[in-house]
Amino acid sequence: DHRGQAGVELSQEKLLERTDQASDVVQDGRGRLIPSSLPAGVLRVDRTRLQLTIDARTQSVARQALRSQMKNYGAKRGTVLVMDTKDGGLRALVTEPTYDPNNFDKVPQSKYEVFKNWAVSDLYEPGSTFKPINVAIALEAGAIQADTVFNDEGSLTVGGWPVANFDYEQRGAVGPLSISQILQRSSNVGMVHIIQQMKPASYYGWLERIGLGDIAGIDLPAETPSTLKPQEQFISYVIEPATTAFGQGFSLTPIQLLQMHGILASGGKLLTPHVVKGVMNEEGEEVYQPKLNPPRQIFSPATTAKVREMMMAVVEEGTGKPARIPGYRLGGKTGTAQKADPNGGGYTRAKITSFVGIFPALEPRYVVLSVIDEPIGADAFGSTVAAPIVKAVIEDIIVADKISPSHPQEIAADNVTIESSTPSTPDAATTSTTPPAISPSPITPATDRKAQ
């Protein structure tokens, strides 16, 4: 019926539809059209096209890396998103499992779930990947300084509820930790201490300011708004700010978490993620550009620079080491969260793992997020499951964009083998590249259990 049913074809239907009217024509005795009877312009060819921000090469690399890790860990589903920090354009948006759009009618009813773009429509509790956002809030509010130190007791009780670090049973009390070390160790107790320096009402206001309770505003259909407890409940129960401190007790979509980390990567601006670049004519000229919400300044550039430096330490020295790329610096944060029981009453044994990376860390250009739902295995953490995916994607971006290393001496010292991992599939790339500078290593299941 020439009407979009999903995705860009649905959300951009007004741009894609044509308003040509049916015309009366005259035929000769053999049923052939008489050219002179055709109204002027009826045979006009419309060669304008809708241009997306998606890069075919990055999309393909992200999908291959995601499929590999989902297979390694028997995961239920996963997503990878790459956002340009200049304007919020998405370089990649991949979800798995997926379907062949050319044979969508062959998908059995039992698998209709694959038609849903869960990166924009499904909510989850982000866990530790939200901790850098909270650190930025506390820094911007003046509740802490970058050199503030807290004592990590390993566990504590808040409003009668126990809160503990993920490794409390093995490690016990940790002792004094700086803000950077709290992120490196992914300390839940440390994060609670940070947020306890703020009044709950003030903290709640900051959560609303960054967009919790709202949508990211992406130009795709069926986006679901994030959830935040009612303000009265949040302020009245001390456990609410405490659990929010380490990324639980509220929920959002992967696209909104990507957007929030975009605040840290863009010098404090809230950008609108989008996939439509514009409408181009046959000469390649842009004849239409979508109107996006203007960026809003949330944090100061100084605050975001401090947090990115801490996130860089997470990758260099903390739980994000599996994402480290010799010669380059990226900021990152792991996340391993229990899944909330859909029937209420707490959490299930299932978990959702994630990793978010900002690259390059000092002068960011991209935010990359990977979320893997219900990986199986005692060693399934954000560091072991999701971080290698982000690493593979960033390594390929380095090749495609010809990004020079900021620390070239590390490449020589580590004797890094440099090859391309560009997929051989037809849609793997839209442009040719020069000989590559780095290559992702094959992704294999990891055994490091020191992750959160």
The strand pairing partners of 279, in sequence order, are: 50, 288
The strand pairing partners of 436, in sequence order, are: none
Please report, as a single letter, which amino acid is at residue 379. D
Q: Where are the alpha helices (DSSP H) in 96-163?
A: 118-121, 131-140
Q: CB of 319 within 8 A of CB of 452?
A: yes
Look up residue 211 and give its two tokens: 């967009």
Look up residue 113 and give its two tokens: 């779930």
The helix (H) or strand (E) run that includes residue 392 is helix 387-401
Nearest to 179 by CA among 188, 189, 191, 167: 191
Q: CB of 77 within 8 A of CB of 95?
A: yes
Residue 355 phi/psi, 5° resolution? -150, 135
Nearest to 84 by CA among 255, 265, 270: 265
What's the CA angle centered on 168, arms 164 and 173, to 5 degrees?
95
Which residues 6+ apart lie within 8 Å of 352 measured at CB? 124, 125, 127, 335, 336, 337, 339, 371, 372, 373, 374
**How far is residue 238's CA from residue 184's CA, in Å, rounded to a whole number?**
25
Among candidate residues 128, 354, 383, 439, the one labeled active-site is: 128
The question of whether 128 is a catalytic residue gets the answer yes
The helix (H) or strand (E) run that includes residue 258 is helix 254-265
**Can you tell me which residue has the tokens 């303000």?**
231
Sign for the pseudo-dihedral over CA of 283, 284, 290, 291: negative
Look up residue 119 and give its two tokens: 């990166």
**Can you tell me which residue has the tokens 């020295």?**
317
3-state secondary structure of 347: strand
Q: CB of 336 within 8 A of CB of 128?
A: yes
Catalytic residue numbers read 128
